[in-house]
Amino acid sequence: MANIDGGHYFLTTLIPLTLEPVRREDGSFTSPSHLLREMLATLPTAQQSPACVAAGLQSPFSRCTRTHFLRAVVIDQPMYNGRDGGNALLQGLRKVNLLAHEPVDNLSRPYLMFCADFDARPGEPDGGLASWATGLWDRMATELRAVFSPCIGFGSVRDGAAFAAWLQRCQIETTMSFNDYYVPMPDLHGYTARQVVLAFAAGTLALSALAGWGLARSGGSPAWMLLAILAAALLSALGVMAMLWFKGRRPFPAGANTDLPSVLKALHVQQRFALLAAELQGADDAALHARFGQFLEQVRPDDLAGPTQPPGVIRSDGIGLVVHEAVAAKAVAI
């Protein structure tokens, strides 16, 4: 797997944070990682409940119609799992001093893991990363400045192109992605164990024959021949492994209608059609025909630019969201 899979770009970045304490506007001091966490915690969420709607705020990421998911996590240190285990008897025989501390891995500074799943653009040289990052900058530069200000190197970012370049410098390869919309599954063909063995045998045989022909011409001894066969087997095994490796790295083809505008449109059509189906139960053919024609006109299922579900809301069928009330728990006093 790679950064691009199934038509989606799976971005993973690890962004180092500065260590210099930050002075806020009110004069208080804090650490860059705390400032970053505070910024992330106060970013508005999508409008997923009446309370969010009433607050009048919307997730800034909803301004971008390429972003499916995005996740930001501050990584302070790698987890320490304790001393490496081992066989107590062997350690005793080897006189391992269990009181001498093993080294503990540390990061030199906190990192921000910033990951996103967005629509790739196969026509662009980098698969769409730069255009996505630039687009994000155009739509939410203020929020991006607030979030990334404690990050190393962000201070010199002045525009979308610089933001894209900076993000790319922090990028690491995504080795495992999760694509939620991949339906239907493509018809995938891996190699069977039989094919792998046959490829190995054929490779070994061909290389050995080549070596045998060469040795026969130069009058090599049987010992050299044996060595040549072993080398051929080794080369063939490496070749088969390379074959599997490259096959495994090949991304899935883009799925049908899995870009964000199509997904949003599908959600909208599905919700509207469910209401239509309920409404038209028992209707006669003429009414059915007329009403369905009206539906096509109103909902325009093929028109991505037409009526659709805007990003950042959870339904678009006109039905109100259920109100969740704050339920007070029992007082702590028993």
Partner 1 sequence: MTRSTLELADIQGNILTAYGRLGFPKARYLLFHIGQAAAGRAFVDALHRRVTTALRWPSSRKAISPGKNPVTRPAVTLNLAFTFRGLLALGLPIRSLRGMPDDFIDGMLARASILGDDVLDNTPEHWDPVWQADKPSVHLLVTLNAQADAEGEAVPQLAAVTEEILALTASLNAAAPGAVVLLEGHRGPSSRWQELSALMQDKQPTAAEHFGFIDAIGDPIFSGQYPQGEEQGLAIGQGAVDGLGHWRPLATGEFLLGWADEAQEVAGAAMPPDLSRNGSFFSYRKLHQHVDSFERWIGQASQRFAAAWRFDSLADARQTLMAKMAGRWADGVPLIAAPDIAAWKAFNQRYAPGTPQRARALVEFRYEGDPQGTRCPMTSHLRRMNTRDALDPRASAEPAERMGSALNNRRRILRRGLPYGSRDAADGEHGIVMLSHCASLSRQFEFVQQQWLNFGLDFNAGNESCPLVGNHAEGARFVIAADPASGHAPFIASGLPQFVSTRGGDYFFAPSMTALRMIAMGTVDPT
CB of 73 to partner 1, least distance (A): 24
CB of 65 to partner 1, least distance (A): 23
Q: Are 55 and 80 in contact (CB under 8 A)?
A: no
CB of 323 to partner 1, least distance (A): 7
| Number of CB atoms found within 10 A of residue 287's CB | 11
Q: Which residues pair with 73 in a beta bridge?
A: 113
The upper half-sphere exposure of residue 207, i.e. CA atoms within 13 Å in the direction of its Cβ, equals: 20
Judged by beta carbon, residue 223 or residue 333, the one nearer partner 1 is 333
* Amino acid at residue number 29: F
Tokens 């304790």 correspond to 82
Quickly list DSSP for 129-146: HHHHHHHHHHHHHHHHHH
Torsion sign across C-alpha atoms 200, 206, 207, 212: positive
CB of 289 to partner 1, least distance (A): 15
Quickly list DSSP for 11-23: EEEEEEBP-S-EE
The distance in angstroms from the start CA to the end CA of the chain is 55
Judged by beta carbon, residue 303 or residue 317, the one nearer partner 1 is 317
Q: Determine phi and psi for 318, rounding to 5 degrees.
A: 85, 0
CB of 147 to partner 1, least distance (A): 28
CB of 308 to partner 1, least distance (A): 18
Structure tokens at 56: 């009048």
Judged by beta carbon, residue 99 or residue 326, the one nearer partner 1 is 326
Judged by beta carbon, residue 89 or residue 322, the one nearer partner 1 is 322
CB of 190 to partner 1, least distance (A): 19
Enumerate binding residues for partner 1 (CB under 8 A). Answer: 274, 277-278, 281-282, 317, 319-320, 322-331, 334
Judged by beta carbon, residue 41 or residue 332, the one nearer partner 1 is 332
Judged by beta carbon, residue 202 or residue 275, the one nearer partner 1 is 275
Tokens 């989606």 correspond to 8
Q: What stretches of 43-76 show up as alpha helix (H) in DSSP?
A: 50-55
Judged by beta carbon, residue 247 or residue 315, the one nearer partner 1 is 315
